[in-house]
Copies of this chain bind each other. A is one copy, B any other.
Amino acid sequence: MTDLLGDLTRTHHCCQLRDTDIDKEVVLMGWVQHRRDHGGVIFIDLRDKEGITQIVFNPEHSKTVHEKAQEIRNEYVLGVKGKVIARPGDMLNPNMKTGAVEVMIDELYIFSKAKTPAFQIEDRVETSEVLRLQYRYLDLRRPQLKNNILARHKATMAIRNYLNNKGFVDIETPFLTKSTPEGARDYLVPSRVNQGEFYALPQSPQLFKQLLMISGFDKYYQIVKCFRDEDLRADRQPEFTQIDMELSFVDEQQIMDVAEGMIVAVFKKVLNIDLVTPFPRITYDEAMSRFGLDRPDLRFGLELCEVSDIVKDAGFKVFANVVKNGGLVKAVNAKGCATFTRKQIDELTDFTAVYKAKGLAWIKIKEDSWQSPIAKFFTDEEKEALRKRLDLEPGDIVFFVADQPKITNEALGQLRNELARRLELISEDTYKFTWVTRFPLLDYDETENRYQALHHPFTAPLEEDIKKLDSDPLSIKSRAYDLVLNGIEIGGGSIRIHDTELQAKVLNCLGIDETEANEKFGFLLKALSSGAPPHGGIAFGLDRLMMLLCREDSIRNVIAFPKTQKATCLLTDAPSKASTAQLRELAIKVTKIDE
């Protein structure tokens, strides 16, 4: 077969040669990382996926090859044949795996030339993210990004092996599917064959995996793209990858066991870390009480403490009134931080204001007095009670937020995280997991004036709470659970409703009447009435998990071809205009006025 490579077969990767290979004839292929001319000799660092080897073009060894090598520039792609030789003693590089040897080249093929790259292919090079995304193929040559992508492969392979061994079946669910009301906005796909109608890209395979349980597949998993047309944040992408699973005839315990085992396998494979299981678990109520957030970061203390009962009659009317109106007064004691300056305190006040706290009260505990704008409002008894409850000691500073429960918890919970960052309480290589369980089934949407599902409408309520569906829906706890790592939710799931009547009742409670229910997911209700096993599952965000494993700040750094926060691809320039002919076939028209 005709072929440029016909005569040349790669014998080694660029990470492999050692002094034990000296005198071997080898063929290497790769990119020019760096070229140096020294005393008429050309030295090139040749790079491939695995590493770097120094190759040498010496005119005394081969004049023709050396001449040809003159034209080589950075990022050229070469194939070379030569003999492994020892480096001279003063050229040994102990920082390089292949630093004991070099290859004296006899044959050179320049497979491809390269223009000067838009930025240097090195981790330490600083360049704008815009440029990096435009030239993503160059950026992916940098070791950091390359290693993230390789780690992602390792992780998914570890997940697949683990789940396969546990009897899970990988089953593909459809991408062109039906718009379902799962909270976020759907991406729509106009149908040509059925003009005027639209598919929706899945936000998750939720309903299909439940159908698979009803079919009897027992244990399902899939590593699958999902889509949400939401405004994007640093850790959101319009398309994201979910590790999705569902099991029949199980309860929460069995699902958590299998999920923990999977996480253990991933950490072992990617980081060679042995995690200890079972992971701790706390209820949603406890998480809110102690940490103010449903995704507590357990790498440090600084727990929140409610003091509503102590301050409910205090002379400080702000606190007293909040308690009177059903609010919460909570505090966090930053031990030993009484040295915070006014400026620091102002910054923290601004910080909590982002979370809608109307103010941040504080008290510095001195040896013999409390220094604070509000200290004077408390009686000695109240002070003593606060001292005991909050373990106040000289040198501490304690912060208070008083507001409606949601705001108090969110603001003080975020303040707790911010304090930990500022006080450097977080050790970077610690991985603290916790399960959060028993979430509320519903919350109340003030703008739409109706209940909505906190997880999704298919989540089972706690057995003993079902009776409260009519009387007190907001007090119902669900059988949902999240897995939280270092304060970030990496997965969540629930035991599902497997009873048609209960499902109809919950939908009804969400303001979805029978007609709407049948239209939107009549097929699920029908399926539930065809013999549904008790079942439940969980889904993990692979992008976020990889971000944490790779210690990156953005999920864009663990995705080969990510989109910007404006949902565009700077590399391919997607999205882009469609042709009139395309739109005509789809029977749609763009209604945008401009251009």
Residues of A within 8 A of B (CB): 1-6, 10, 29-32, 47-49, 75-77, 79, 111-115, 117, 135-138, 140-141, 146, 149-150, 152-153, 156-157, 160, 164, 169-179, 185-201, 207-208, 211-212, 214-218, 225, 227, 229, 231, 238-239, 241, 248-253, 437, 462-464, 479, 495, 498-499, 523, 526-534, 559-561, 563, 566-569, 571-578, 582, 584-592, 595
Q: Are B531 and A463 neighbours in the complex by a CB distance under 8 Å?
A: no
Q: Are B577 and A1 neighbours in the complex by a CB distance under 8 Å?
A: no
Given contacts A135-B526, A146-B216, 17 further A-B contacts (CB under 8 A): A2-B464, A3-B495, A31-B531, A47-B216, A48-B216, A49-B218, A75-B531, A175-B225, A176-B187, A176-B563, A176-B574, A176-B575, A177-B574, A179-B578, A188-B578, A194-B575, A584-B591
- Can you list 19 A-B pairs, Cβ within 8 angstroms, ordered by A? A3-B495, A4-B251, A10-B249, A29-B248, A31-B216, A31-B531, A32-B531, A140-B212, A140-B216, A177-B569, A177-B572, A178-B573, A185-B585, A196-B595, A197-B578, A225-B225, A523-B571, A584-B591, A587-B591
Counting chain B CB atoms within 10 Å of each CB, the highest count among A49, A137, A192, A252 belongs to A137
Chain B residues whose C-beta falls within 8 Å of the C-beta of A173 in the assembled complex? 560-561
Chain B residues whose C-beta falls within 8 Å of the C-beta of A217 in the assembled complex? 49, 140, 146, 149
B113, B195, B569: the one contacting A592 at CB < 8 Å is B195
Q: Are B530 and A198 neighbours in the complex by a CB distance under 8 Å?
A: no
Complex Cα distance A175/B228, Å? Answer: 12
Q: Are B241 and A172 neighbours in the complex by a CB distance under 8 Å?
A: yes
Chain B residues whose C-beta falls within 8 Å of the C-beta of A527 in the assembled complex? 137
Complex Cα distance A150/B5, Å? Answer: 41
Chain B residues whose C-beta falls within 8 Å of the C-beta of A195 in the assembled complex? 590, 592
* Given A2-B464, A31-B216, A576-B198 contact (CB < 8 Å): yes
Chain B residues whose C-beta falls within 8 Å of the C-beta of A238 in the assembled complex? 176
Q: Are B215 and A140 neighbours in the complex by a CB distance under 8 Å?
A: yes
Q: Are A530 and B114 neighbours in the complex by a CB distance under 8 Å?
A: yes
Nearest-Cβ distance from residue A571 to partner chain B, whole angstroms: 5
B111, B190, B462, B560: the one contacting A534 at CB < 8 Å is B111
Complex Cα distance A117/B4, Å? Answer: 62
Complex Cα distance A114/B528, Å? Answer: 8
B152, B197, B463, B533: the one contacting A111 at CB < 8 Å is B533
Can you name the residue of chain B whose Cβ is closest to the Cβ of A481?
B1
Nearest-Cβ distance from residue A92 to partner chain B, whole angstroms: 27
Q: Are B140 and A574 neighbours in the complex by a CB distance under 8 Å?
A: no
B111, B251, B590: the one contacting A196 at CB < 8 Å is B590
Q: Are A591 and B590 neighbours in the complex by a CB distance under 8 Å?
A: no
Nearest-Cβ distance from residue A16 to partner chain B, whole angstroms: 13
B3, B149, B463: the one contacting A251 at CB < 8 Å is B3
* Given A176-B239, A587-B591, A186-B582 contact (CB < 8 Å): yes
Q: Are B529 and A572 neighbours in the complex by a CB distance under 8 Å?
A: no
Chain B residues whose C-beta falls within 8 Å of the C-beta of A248 in the assembled complex? 29
Q: Are A171 and B185 neighbours in the complex by a CB distance under 8 Å?
A: no
* Given A157-B164, A572-B177, A586-B188, A172-B214 contact (CB < 8 Å): no
Chain B residues whose C-beta falls within 8 Å of the C-beta of A153 in the assembled complex? 169-171
Complex Cα distance A590/B198, Å? Answer: 10
Chain B residues whose C-beta falls within 8 Å of the C-beta of A212 in the assembled complex? 137, 140, 560
Q: Are B529 and A191 neighbours in the complex by a CB distance under 8 Å?
A: no
Complex Cα distance A214/B584, Å? Answer: 37
Nearest-Cβ distance from residue A147 to partner chain B, whole angstroms: 11
Chain B residues whose C-beta falls within 8 Å of the C-beta of A498 in the assembled complex? 111-112
Complex Cα distance A560/B213, Å? Answer: 12
* Given A75-B530, A574-B177, A189-B192 contact (CB < 8 Å): no
Complex Cα distance A584/B199, Å? Answer: 16
Chain B residues whose C-beta falls within 8 Å of the C-beta of A49 in the assembled complex? 216-218
Q: Are B177 and A29 neighbours in the complex by a CB distance under 8 Å?
A: no
Counting chain B CB atoms within 10 Å of each CB, the highest count among A32, A179, A186, A462 belongs to A179
Q: Are B533 and A576 neighbours in the complex by a CB distance under 8 Å?
A: no
Nearest-Cβ distance from residue A285 to partner chain B, whole angstroms: 15
